[in-house]
Structure 1
Amino acid sequence: MRPFRLRSRPAVALVATLTVAAGAVLANTVSAQAAGGCRITYTVQSQWTGGFVANVDVANLGAPLTSWQVAWSFTAGQQVTQLWNGTVNQSGALVTVANTSWNGNIATGATTSFGFGATVNGTSNPVPTAFTLNGIACNGGVDPTPTGSSPSPSPSTSPSPTASTTPAPAASILDQVHTVGRLKTTDASVQYTWPGTYFEGRFRGTGVGLVINDSTNDYVVAVDGTTVATLVTPGQVTHWVRDLANGDHTVRLAKRTESPWAAGEFGGLVPVDGGAILAKPAARSRQIEFIGDSWTAGYGDISTSRDCAGTGVTRNSNADAAFGALTARGLNADYQINAWSGMGMVRNYNGQTPDTTFRTYYDTDLQALWNSTVWPVPSAWKPQVVVIGLGINDFSTPPNAGEKWANFDELAADYQAAYLAFINKLRTRYGAGAEIVLTYPDLSYLTTALADSIQQIVKTRNDGGDARVSSLYYDNNALGLDLLGCDWHPSQHDHQILAATLTRHLATLPITW
């Protein structure tokens, strides 16, 4: 069997401001005079070869603003690829960022922020030195004669919702929909990054609108259990489902793709004329948490070819069709998919980004996003089953020269210790009654270190009195996995087999549903 080739992900610091090159300054504060005065703080939060993530704070020192537009020019060919908490237009070197429909107001003395990811040529990434706010250069002063009004934002590359579809406050959004995903609330939306995050609602009428702001991810929309749309990087938009039979319906929005450093935003449901948003569906009594890497995230699972160079991995990935989602829906369980391609328990694919692993980000709400924090686990989230699939990236390539492990034996020792500590964390969080299932595929073409380690971890837990830890071996050949997904990953055919195999294993466990 061929090795699994997994995407690597750049390590992104959560809060630290890093240095890109000798003498380079990444946090640059310049003051601004714009409709009464402003101050811009531009911070490069992390950088890797070919890209970086930055955050921009906009402090209003003058009269209150009802809309804003920040502009600057890059000097080294940087290109913004994704942006959150705003809408972006880039023409050559000139970048213009305008407010969204929910964050246009900035009171005197208040600050708003937006962040973005961008590409850069090599390592040269000079920070911009001149900014404007609403067309006026920033210099830190206060305009003695503020105009009291602000120019309207210029058109962005993403369509804006109409006035009738302005998102409701975040609290009312969660009153509209059922979700168990890891979220961060803003003034008028909820943000999320983990793959497979879903929202479920009910409505009456002939249609419904879904308010979304996301230029990075893909989504699937289902009504009454039937897929009605696939949204590819929809941008800032209200997506309408129309021409349904008049009556009561359910709607489900699910995030298909991974975006560890770019958040999607959901702004709630909007009824059609004469319709209504109904009480949200009840939470399910069964809960499952899936923890893992690219197999769990659904990397390339809807591709029909192992070579996805032409169409790209992202467009061929669907966490909502991966084995975790299939298993949970088959058991009528709510679920989380907390997965990140290329990440391992102690070692990422081929030893990349050695300073971070999956465990670095497991506790976060928004993974590697600039404003990510520790996710406050709600009391309602108590999964009876936790399924872990971490280890492929640790062991699918031999340790390289310069890594901390000289061989698989040394790697296995650290892997087992970290895994046991991780299980302790889960036990503390979810209690002694949760069933923890450790899954692993066939890596025998290279090493038995993964299989041996998993079996030893389970034995250690069982011998210590924890009988609710078990293992599940995915025998690729015996199960008939074709691995026709991108880069030799499981295909849709394979994920259905994996879901059935996992479901059979769960049926043998004394789960207290």
Structure 2
Amino acid sequence: MTSFFEQVHTVGRVKPRGEAVQFSWPGVYFEGRFRGTGVGVVLDCAAADYDVQVDGATVATLVTPGDTTHWVDGLRDGEHTVRVVKRNDTPGDISTFGGFVAAPGGAVLNGPAPRDRQIEFIGDSLTVGYGNVSGTRVCDPEQLKRTTNTDVSHGALAARQLDADYQINGLSGLGMVRNVAGICPDLTYRTHYDRALLSVDGDVWRNPGTWRPQIVVVNLGSNDFTDLTPGEPWTPETLAAAYRASYGAFLRTLRTRYGPATALVAVGFDRNAEHVRQVVEACNDAGDSGVHYWYLDTSGLDFLGCDGHASARDDRLIADRLVPFLSSLLT
């Protein structure tokens, strides 16, 4: 009998727990193969939403499914693929995936092979796909949860165009040194980056040795440069200096983690663009030619996602603009 880890191709930061895994980041996905007329998806999650896809088509969206086995039945008898993907970001909660179960008379087969390419996306709400399928800028908290779909974020779309496995390590509202509107001043994105379980202080994700991305894309800074609020310790000058210094240190941490063969892409967007360009220039001047600058062109974007974020249409446009640049780094 094959084990969970032989039956499931898992992509994203997870923490093994027996014949199951726990996870927190958005966009984590699980792929499998089975023979028969149906498949069960074993989940324990009361916070996040999931899409279930069979043979490439979405057959169910599970809204905060709880502790359940969701069945997809009535398929033609034969071999099929199945994919389960976490749609939204729920950093304060821990989710559990327990694998796939075959319908009577069928069997779960060994999972598909990993893709040859791997891309990691690091960022904030734009990377998550915050409210991207809402169709409106005005969303209440419940609408935001239901209309965030990381699986159609620009990173996920770009990676699939390039036939790459991907991690979407995005956290809404957080920045490199300062968070949106100055909230939670003792925490930043960098506080959480090393974790598998985001709500567990001191947790550390253990790379099983299979995650070796050819490209890491970093898009952090939109929250850092939101308007300063009264009582914050920053001036525009000290904030910019701290941002550039911390960004450079973060890129050096990524270089140490992944080695010289990994291309690091720093995204310039909105108010952070010139600061990011300077950070990349400094890395290049220091001898790291594997750090690259990419400017996120916002022309033609409608920003019709929740709270003025990118819409699903915008995500497609951004992905189409990003893919040629990433492709040039893969050849």
Which bin holds the TM-score, normalised by the shorter protein? over 0.9
Matches within 5 A, 1:216-235: 216-235=47-66
**In structure 1, how many angstroms separate the alpha carbons of the residues matched to 2:18 and 2:252?**
36
Residue among 26, 36, 46 paired with 1:195: 26
Q: Is the 8 A contact 1:214 1:235 kept in 2?
A: yes
Whether 2:223 is the aligned partner of 1:393: answer: yes
Whether 2:80 is the aligned partner of 1:275: answer: no
Q: Is the 8 A contact 1:392 1:440 kept in 2?
A: no
SS in 2 for 1:387: strand
Q: Is the 8 A contact 2:132 2:309 kept in 1?
A: yes
SS in 1 for 2:223: helix
Instruction: Specify the alignment match of 1:99 in structure 2.
Output: none
SS in 1 for 2:307: helix
Which amino acid counterpart does residue 255 of structure 2 have in structure 1?
A: R
**In structure 1, how many angstroms separate the alpha carbons of the residues matched to 2:163 and 2:308?**
30
Deviations 1:379-398 (A, max 9, x none): 2111000011100000022x
Instruction: Specify the alignment match of 2:243 in structure 1.
Output: 415
Q: Is the 8 A contact 1:442 1:475 kept in 2?
A: no
Instruction: Specify the alignment match of 1:489 in structure 2.
Output: 309
**In structure 1, how many angstroms separate the alpha carbons of the residues matched to 2:328 and 2:18?**
45
SS in 2 for 1:462: helix
Instruction: Specify the alignment match of 2:233 in structure 1.
Output: 404
Residue among 470, 475, 485 paired with 2:297: 475
Which amino acid counterpart does residue 217 of structure 1 have in structure 2?
A: A
Q: Using the TM superposition, give the Cα deviation of residue 400 of structure 1 relative to its aligned residue in structure 2, in angstroms.
A: 2.6
SS in 1 for 2:255: helix
Whether 2:88 is the aligned partner of 1:257: answer: yes
Q: Using the TM superposition, give the Cα deviation of residue 324 of structure 1 relative to its aligned residue in structure 2, in angstroms.
A: 0.9
SS in 1 for 2:58: strand
**In structure 1, how many angstroms separate the alpha carbons of the residues matched to 2:102 and 2:112?**
16
Q: Using the TM superposition, give the Cα deviation of residue 369 of structure 1 relative to its aligned residue in structure 2, in angstroms.
A: 3.4
Deviations 1:130-181 (A, max 9, x none): xxxxxxxxxxxxxxxxxxxxxxxxxxxxxxxxxxxxxx9xx92222100132
Q: Using the TM superposition, give the Cα deviation of residue 264 of structure 1 relative to its aligned residue in structure 2, in angstroms.
A: 1.1
Range 296-305 or range 459-468, more displaced: 459-468
Matches within 5 A, 1:146-165: none
Which amino acid counterpart does residue 173 of structure 2 have in structure 1?
A: G
**In structure 1, how many angstroms separate the alpha carbons of the residues matched to 2:171 and 2:122?**
9
Instruction: Specify the alignment match of 2:136 in structure 1.
Output: 305
Q: Using the TM superposition, give the Cα deviation of residue 404 of structure 1 relative to its aligned residue in structure 2, in angstroms.
A: 2.3
Instruction: Specify the alignment match of 1:440 in structure 2.
Output: 268
**In structure 2, how many angstroms separate the alpha carbons of the residues matched to 1:499 and 1:361?**
26
Q: Which runs of 5+ in 1 are unaligned?
A: 1-167, 444-449
Instruction: Please identify which structure carries the higher helix content.
Output: 2
Which amino acid counterpart does residue 253 of structure 2 have in structure 1?
A: K
**In structure 1, how many angstroms separate the alpha carbons of the residues matched to 2:106 and 2:222?**
49
SS in 2 for 1:393: coil
Q: Using the TM superposition, give the Cα deviation of residue 213 of structure 1 relative to its aligned residue in structure 2, in angstroms.
A: 0.7
Pair 310,405 (structure 1): closer, same or farther in 2 beyond 3 Å: closer
Which amino acid counterpart does residue 483 of structure 1 have in structure 2?
A: F
**In structure 1, how many angstroms separate the alpha carbons of the residues matched to 2:61 and 2:268?**
31
**In structure 1, how many angstroms separate the alpha carbons of the residues matched to 2:38 and 2:91?**
32
Range 295-304 or range 499-508, more displaced: 499-508
Q: Is the 8 A contact 1:365 1:373 kept in 2?
A: yes
**TM-score of the pair, normalised by structure 2:** 0.97
Q: Using the TM superposition, give the Cα deviation of residue 310 of structure 1 relative to its aligned residue in structure 2, in angstroms.
A: 7.7
Q: Using the TM superposition, give the Cα deviation of residue 189 of structure 1 relative to its aligned residue in structure 2, in angstroms.
A: 2.2
Which amino acid counterpart does residue 395 of structure 1 have in structure 2?
A: F
- Report % sequence identity: 51
SS in 2 for 1:313: helix
SS in 2 for 1:420: helix
**In structure 1, how many angstroms separate the alpha carbons of the residues matched to 2:321 and 2:125?**
18
Whether 2:74 is the aligned partner of 1:239: answer: no
Whether 2:282 is the aligned partner of 1:466: answer: no
Q: Using the TM superposition, give the Cα deviation of residue 413 of structure 1 relative to its aligned residue in structure 2, in angstroms.
A: 0.4
Deviations 1:2-21 (A, max 9, x none): xxxxxxxxxxxxxxxxxxxx
Deviations 1:261-294 (A, max 9, x none): 2111111111111100011100111000000000
How many residues are aligned here? 331
**In structure 2, how many angstroms separate the alpha carbons of the residues matched to 1:241 and 1:233?**
17
Which amino acid counterpart does residue 44 of structure 2 have in structure 1?
A: N
SS in 2 for 1:248: strand
Q: Using the TM superposition, give the Cα deviation of residue 441 of structure 1 relative to its aligned residue in structure 2, in angstroms.
A: 2.3
Pair 239,390 (structure 1): closer, same or farther in 2 beyond 3 Å: same
**In structure 2, how many angstroms separate the alpha carbons of the residues matched to 1:422 and 1:257?**
25
**In structure 1, how many angstroms separate the alpha carbons of the residues matched to 2:130 and 2:5?**
29
Deviations 1:349-395 (A, max 9, x none): 0111000000001001111236x611112221110000111000000
Deviations 1:481-505 (A, max 9, x none): 0000000000000000111111021
Deviations 1:192-251 (A, max 9, x none): 000000000000001100111111100001011111111101111100011111111000
**TM-score of the pair, normalised by structure 1:** 0.63
Instruction: Specify the alignment match of 2:149 in structure 1.
Output: 318
Which has the bigger relative contact order, CA under 8 A and spacing at least 6? 2
Whether 2:119 is the aligned partner of 1:291: answer: no
Residue among 171, 180, 184 paired with 1:340: 171
Q: Is the 8 A contact 1:343 1:358 kept in 2?
A: yes
Deviations 1:318-364 (A, max 9, x none): 11110111111111101111110000000000111000000001001
Q: Is the 8 A contact 2:267 2:273 kept in 1?
A: no
Q: Using the TM superposition, give the Cα deviation of residue 459 of structure 1 relative to its aligned residue in structure 2, in angstroms.
A: 0.5
**In structure 1, how many angstroms separate the alpha carbons of the residues matched to 2:67 and 2:5?**
19
Residue among 42, 67, 70 paired with 1:211: 42
Q: Is the 8 A contact 2:162 2:327 kept in 1?
A: no
Range 426-435 or range 465-474, more displaced: 465-474
Instruction: Specify the alignment match of 1:364 in structure 2.
Output: 195
Q: Using the TM superposition, give the Cα deviation of residue 465 of structure 1 relative to its aligned residue in structure 2, in angstroms.
A: 1.6
